[in-house]
Structure 1
Amino acid sequence: MDTTGTDDTAAFASYQSAFSEPPGYLNFASFGPPSSRVADRLADLLHTAGHASSDAMAHLQGEELRARSAFSRLTGFPLDRVGLTGSTSLGLFQVAFGLARGTVLVGAGEFPSNHYPWLRTAEAGRARIALIGEPGTQMTPDAVARSLGDDTVAVSVSAVDFRTGYRADLAGIREVIGPDRLLVVDGIQAFGVVDAAWAPADVLISGAQKWVRGAWGVAGIAMSEQALARLEPVLTGWTGVADAYRYDGEEHAPLPGAGRFSISNLSPYATGAFAEALELMESVGVAAIEGLVSTHAQALITQLDDAGVPVLSPRDRAERAGIVVAGVRGRAEEAHAALAAAGITATRHGDSRIRLSVHATTRSEALGEAAGVLAGFV
């Protein structure tokens, strides 16, 4: 989106004015502070529930369709192949238990939420897990290709690596695994700030609480026709079946689309917050958000370079998103405390890494301040 036009400039000004995180907040990869619009929507839904009018339930339940519709528009998946679940982790569990056999390739450095579902399904005698590389190994198409076997049925990968900010080449991975294996994508570190083509994914799952800035308690899940055909609805509840409100004591058939992965009714407060956050993103476009995030990340890398602080994230704009990791060997605890004392919120990983993450609303002055603090710990 070209923000130089009058309408676009006004839309982006409205978008930015909806947020009020502290100037030193550089921790969006951990939690994205919601907008005033999300807060207002939550207040409205609580007011509706509190007054419990005759149409309150219908009003509250309508938030789920709002969220699904927005997630469908933003991902490009048809509405009937878009559902909601409680979190990214829960969605991954549902997918993992849906595979009855075969081997699933997962990066050894993935966030644990992309390990445990596959470990548990293997323990249950269903699909097995095979780890690629070690922590820090990038899930490139070449790394995936070297690990493929005749019994490989799926690859599960993060669209953006939580540890380094590396942006996976989903199209490249799709090409090397072929059309018959499933590509499962954990999108939580990318969705909302990466203007990606999600079509290569057979399954895309993204929670609302990070870059989407929609708070906890809900995640979008989108599926290809192949995924719907191949994944058994093992972890499906009463809301994921046909005629859910016909209480006849019989087992009902799963719904035909992604709705079959519903377990129970979700909180209308969570779905309403998600819908509001997604629609706010749509008001300016993900491409515009990505452009600012990329600019801020590059500026942060430059500031760290000027301060002599090692950068452990990819430098190529095409290979990174909003995460920039600084190396402070053996001094991360001290550095993290010093950043906090300076009003800068970041994440410490181990004893040698500080993860900084920027958004479209990040104040540029915070980047130099963070680099200045970290310079004392190199």
Structure 2
Amino acid sequence: MSKLPNISTSIFSVMSKLAFEHNAINLSQGFPNFPVDERLKNIVSQLAQQEVHQYTPMAGHPLLLEKIAQLTKEQYQRTINPETELLITTGATQGIFTTIQALVKNEDEVIILDPSYDSYEPSVLMSGGVPVRISLNDDYTPNWETIENACSSKTRLIIINNPHNPTGKTLNVSDLKKLENILEKLPQILLLSDEVYEYITFEEKHISVHTREKLHNRCITASSFGKSFHVTGWKVGYIIAPENLMSEIKKVHQFLVFSVNSLSQAAISQYLDIVLIDEIRSFYKQKRDYFRELLQNSRFELLPCEGTYFQVVSYASISDENDVDFCKRLIKEHGVAAIPISTFYANAKDLKLIRFCFAKDNHTLEAAAKKLCQL
């Protein structure tokens, strides 16, 4: 008997498989196709000759833990204890799964804001919890009154994703104040903040929960070096949480992966000494602006993109098809792969919107845009 009877192959795998079969340009899955920083590759080459190939301590490479604590202080003016409030994970998804397994018990309710990343619900179900899916407004802003009304004595956790995948929206100060008000009224509820695109925002700087002192004792944050440093295949992320919650999370982590790839951790700890975090933002802003410029004369309507490396577009003026069928036809007939937004909703809400990933080299973006402008 399946523990996840209603979970099928992810839409990312489906669309990437179709793209491969039809030799389409793959703007569906969220990974870069351009080279990694040469400085990082050189660090790896040098470290590979050294004795860094055995288990690290369970919580992470000590030097990397210290560097993350420094980074958190520099970026968000928050002081954390690297020994008790920080954990290196095998990517942010593992950190999210581990957190939910540790903190959500049988029949606990977890509020998930749709459209939502597809790992949240299965993680809740595997813990015996009950997912409560709440749709964002059609402009992808949160309706905090609806969210508060969905909370009950059984609510254990609220999950937010900021910057938001798939929509590229970001939360503002008003949003976080309203969230704080909800949590003040309901002290049993914890917050899980998925911030893997924290360094990829554009006009406005990312407002992390790290900057909200009221939330520190109630919140677990998930971050991703894979997203920030264009090394998604390394699967290195981290979570930050208060000691009382982190001690429970570490209990699960030690039996799930024990420790994360040692070479990757050592390389990132050195790379943090030379990389300029603000350059990540400007790099992706150029990508976003260039891709939007390329699509300016297309029939697609481009929605605002405030963060992440995803661009959501409306195809309503092109077709009346549902978004899944449109994406399949886009691959088969026009040679470009995208992700239908309805698959991020529990109720498959179809607003005629699809998502493109612009974390690609310019040649790829140009080739894709040429095809898209012909629709």
The one of 288, 297, 303 equivalent to 2:288 is 297
Say if 1:183 and 1:203, in contact at 8 Å, map to a contact too.
yes
How far apart are 1:90 and its partner, in Å? 1.6
**Any conservation in 2 of the 1:38–1:277 contact (CA below 8 Å)?**
yes
- Name the CA distance, whole Å, in 1 between partners of 2:331 and 2:125: 33
Residues 347, 67 of structure 1: alpha-carbon distance in 2 compared, 3 angstrom cutoff: farther
Contact (CA 8 Å) 1:145, 1:176: kept in 2 or not? no
* Aligned residue number for residue 249 of structure 1: none
How far is 1:324 from its partner? 0.8
Q: TM-score normalised to the size of structure 1?
A: 0.66
Q: Percent identity?
A: 12
TM-score by length of 2: 0.66
Corresponding residue of 2:68: 71
For the residues of structure 2 that align with 1:45 and 1:118, how far apart are their CA atoms? 38
CA drift at 1:141:
5.1
Match of 1:208 in 2: 225
2:259 matched residue in structure 1? 265
Q: Tell whether 2:354 aligns with 1:353.
A: yes
What is the match of residue 96 of structure 2?
Answer: 92
Does the CA-based 8 Å contact 2:199-2:277 persist in structure 1?
A: no
Note the 1:1-378 alignment, pairs <5 A. 29-31=30-32, 33-49=35-51, 64-76=61-73, 77-78=79-80, 79-80=82-83, 81-101=85-105, 102-122=108-128, 127-133=129-135, 138=140, 140=142, 142=144, 143-169=146-172, 171-172=176-177, 174-179=179-184, 180=187, 181-188=189-196, 190-194=197-201, 195-198=205-208, 199=210, 200=212, 202-214=219-231, 215-224=233-242, 227-228=245-246, 231=248, 233-237=250-254, 263-280=257-274, 283-286=275-278, 288-294=279-285, 296-311=287-302, 313=303, 315=304, 319-328=306-315, 329=319, 330-333=325-328, 335-336=330-331, 348-350=338-340, 353-358=354-359, 363=362, 370-377=368-375
For residues 235 and 121 of structure 1, the distance between their equivalents in structure 2, rounded to whole angstroms, comes to: 12
Aligned-residue offset at 1:221:
1.1
Query: Secondary structure in 1 aligned to 2:100?
Result: helix
Shift of 1:263: 4.8
Amino acid of the structure 2 residue aligned with 1:89: T
Match of 2:238, SS state, is strand
1:186 positional shift: 1.7
- The answer as to whether partners of 1:309 and 1:371 remain within 8 angstroms in 2 is no
1:349 is aligned with what amino acid? I
Check conservation: 1:29, 1:211, Cα contact below 8 A: no
Structure number with the bigger relative contact order (C-alpha 8 A, sep ≥ 6) is 2
Determine if contact 2:200/2:307 at 8 Å carries over to the other structure.
no
Paired residues of 1:191 and 1:212 also in contact (CA < 8 A): no
Deviations, residues 306-329 of structure 1 (Å, cap 9, x unaligned)? 323222x3x2x6x44432123455
1:331–1:133 CA distance, 2 compared to 1 (3 A): closer
Secondary structure at 1:48 match in 2: coil
Instruction: Note if contact 1:326-1:354 (Cα within 8 Å) is conserved in structure 2.
Output: yes
Mapped to 1, the partners of 2:299 and 2:118 lie a distance apart of 32
